[in-house]
Amino acid sequence: MGTVWLARDERLRREVAVKQLLLPPGRNAAGTAQLRERMEREALAMAQVRHRGIVTVHDVLAEDDQPWIVMEYLRADSLDEFVRSRGPLPPRLAAEMGGQVLDALVAVHQSGILHRDIKPSNVLLTRDGQAVITDFGIATFDGAATLTESGQVIGSPAYMAPEVVNGHRATAASDLWSLGATLFFTVEGRSPYQRETAVAVLAALIIEEPPTPENAGLLGPAIASVLRRDPTERASAAELALLLGAAAAPAGAVPSRPDPERTVRVRPAYGATPDRSTPVKEPGQSAPALRNRRSGKTDQDFGRFWSSPVKWSGAKKAAAALGVCALAASVFIAWLNGERDDSSRRPTAVSATPAPKGTSVAGRVPTLRITCVLDTCAHVLVRAQDVGALLDRELTAGEQVQFFDARLDVVLEDASLPEVDVNGVPRDWGKPGERQEFSVTRE
């Protein structure tokens, strides 16, 4: 019931996405008021959740008695567009994407909100590897009255949980079913209950068991754990996170003691407690390529596709361009941008005890070193010009990352929390709570 426009904020000199409410002809006053309230709830729902996997709301405006939502704008493809144009994803990438969506969805649930419309067209994939949930148009708050008309089905039937189709109230487990159906689409190229008509879809949801995906590989158990008709038998978010983490792990990776010369730290999905060290391949070795049997493409293939420019059909239809500042786990970025033998492109040693200032691995002084000396540090983003995001997450106590690229662009959400060294020299980048963006060049 809305159109998203690409606009420019003249005061702050930035591009934004603006959602306009479209009122169907012949709608009575009560129906119009309901649609307006639903749109205002959408803005409130998105604004309640601060998460890099949720679109950011800047403002809600009223013009001619019509609400407009002003949101952050980011070029991205929807998961639906991506799969239909380039084919199903290999299980490893699908699992990593699913972990990001789950992490954002848990943040939504912890805020007392149900999304109720998780589906491929409502998941955006940014060019630097972050999955972002959009469209909270039918989201509900705990304890709040619903805005659904009597007898009206709200949501997308192909991704709707069976209990919702049967008239029961949606729960967090219903959103997890929808995520499972979305993951099914990601590896199969179709929804688990794809039929010719919406009525046929609803009938199948009521009486048929979900099919088993043919191309899910190690992702199969994660999908099956939430595609269970009885919501009480579905995996919890924490259980699903563990299954997704196992499916996303590089083939042949064996948990071991971290080697500071060859190890990066990976932020696990919500609730997961796997070993936090993912071995980086030795120079000259090739990481095994996982192939989707349906599309015939590997994760390396999608790395090349993902980093290619996004095609646009026009600024007015910018719904697929909503998003937030991108987050991606380091391993996912490596897959999406193609595996590289140059280990200097990755953050090196992450240790519980920070290394002495001015020193580094193999005696080299890094271009940039960031050390978290508190219990936790705010979000840190580090990009290299020809690679994209190298680090995009929070740091934990005692964690240290360092980079050797010629030029790096850095964003510190709270510049006072981490210690920052540039070319071996300590720098003070800002005051408490201050966000800083800067570039550093290797000397």
Q: What is the DSSP letter of 191?
A: -
Q: How far apart are CA 158 and CA 81, in angstroms?
A: 16
Are 126 and 281 in contact, with CB atoms under 8 Å apart?
A: no
The SS3 assignment for 406 reads: coil
Are 237 and 270 in contact, with CB atoms under 8 Å apart?
A: yes
Q: How far apart are CA 378 and CA 435, in angstroms?
A: 10
**CA neighbor of 160 nearest in space, from 213, 105, 129, 168:** 168
Identify the helix (H) or strand (E) that includes residue 409. strand 407-412
Q: How far apart are CA 93 and CA 133, in angstroms?
A: 17
CA atoms within 13 A on the CB side of 214: 8
User: What is the three-state SS of 90-143?
Assistant: CHHHHHHHHHHHHHHHHHHHHCCEECCCCCHHHEEEECCCCEEECCCCCCEECC
Asked about 259 being catalytic, the answer comes back as no
Three-point CA angle 49, 156, 294, nearest 5°:
100
The SS3 assignment for 303 reads: helix
Encoding tokens for residue 374?
């508190």
Q: How far apart are CA 178 and CA 312, in angstroms?
A: 28
CB neighbour list of residue 382: distance below 8 Å, 6 or more residues apart: 347, 368, 370, 389, 390, 391, 392, 401, 403, 408, 409, 410
Q: How far apart are CA 418 and CA 401, in angstroms?
A: 11
Three-point CA angle 224, 90, 275, nearest 5°:
70
- Give me the residue label for tokens 């005051």: 431
**Exposure string over 342-362, b if 16+ CB within 10 A, otherwise e:** ebbbbbbbbbeebbeeeebbe
Annotated catalytic residue within 80, 103, 117, 299: 117
As annotated, the active-site residues are 117
